[in-house]
Structure 1
């Protein structure tokens, strides 16, 4: 039994770092996907190589002790997802639509994170991966997050169906959430072909580090109901109410953010009368002047809005964000506009911290041209 546990320990020590390294590669690739640099990016992933394949094969060859089989299963699913993502990226240029193939490959990041996250309370390397660089040095935070593994109503879970189900949502509640201390709420809306189960991981590291509850709904249809905002809007309202009834949410700190179609829907829903969100942060979103003209004037006055857009965005040009910022300022909103020089039509993960600084600090920043 001891020899078996020793071999399993060695396999864990080899496989976990390989999984986390592969996830980091997928995360980097998702941030830098761009039609102009796609060929070089996918080539670099292919030439870089990975220890994951051999480590996964070695783990599969072991006769695992019964008590470690759940650990093995988490690593197996995470490793398989991450390896598939790397292979998909490396071979994207051979696909009929290379950019679409590369985007599809990077979605393995969410599946890999979902599979390995249950090990975070027990493995410091996994826990550190799901913290911001600054929070990784906070020993007290690490201790609080791992103090009660498996605590009911904490960590990641689903509302309304399995992760990615239409109209359902993925939810993260900090492991150390205290009902006596209402937490800020982040509601993050996926892009047009995504889902909440995958998009949750775009924000989880920051939410976990900053003690925020994170909700990632999935659109009812193929994408958000841009032509009928009430359809998805009512579902989001219902999901937010469900979270607020089950956990302590701070009603004065509720952020609605989203990417691409999700960012556009953050405008449509977030500017409507009666919506409870205190801050909006659309990213890489489309914006039509009619959105400002039909927005509730009372809602718009003083509303903190942080607009993020890439200078290299090939789907919605940066002028889209400039026009949105100008029109919203004219309507009385408190707008911050940031154009990121090297960003294409991707989520700027490095900006999450700046958005949270703005959101948690009050958010009333002047327009940045």
Structure 2
């Protein structure tokens, strides 16, 4: 039975995937284990992630993989989820880089941008030759994005943007920023090349979580853009929230990978580590923890798969995505905390993965909608009473 758990899938959930989806999962797993896993603890300790890994992810085909055309692979949503699972099994920062590139920046261009935006940027972003970021959150506008202060005003045939965005993944690496700003017509999106005069990005340091990732503040000081930079149709928060929903979907799969990695390490460690003349895994309390962790990880895998099926059928709702993000990140965080304790003092070092995952999941629980907001989203769906507005 222990061998089955080590092989990722106690309930054989992956048997419900298509052959192509299983093959994609195996390909991504092999690549990240070989090329990225050996370096991720070093990146985490240094508080960064190198941009030179992005072309390799492009060749792997995971950047914008669920989008159609423009150099994107056009896979199923479930296949994209499986890829996110394998990325986050290594580190949340890797999945975050891919999510921001594909589900935020690229999806925004694909869904809301102009044909010129798509032709100019998407092939290069899919190949990993250009990096994108997504500017929505501000220092005073997190769960309430409608209170953003970043503004865009017309000046002749141009737009002039002023303001700042906070907690922006890939911010200092990006070649293109998708920026959302208030206008006289409502909130609008803009494709902002990061070499535009007046645009700057400043890396946020001293993070205690999601350290194998680049996080930045974006500052826009009289950034002048042509009218063609604006997304033509979408007005209001519908645009950015649709992008966030895409990213949350990837997160709910990624959490399965993080939880699975912690379970696997806890199992391997307790099978080898001896106390009182026998392995830790021989003790009843340890086996209870392993059983509970296995149930949590496999239940999360079932939630992810069901939501993937709904998304591929075009039937998923934002509230169902909230359910998945809330439930799966909560489960993964509980598993990571338990695993950290099972490794004892060894669990606090970067020689093992569990505390790195545990710390990362604290951030994952907060971004793309806090636990509180997803809880209230579900409550609103059940009662018809919005408790947050």
Normalising by structure 1, we get a TM-score of 0.28
Which has the larger helix fraction?
Answer: 2
Ranked by relative contact order (alpha carbons within 8 Å, sequence separation 6 or more), the top structure is: 2
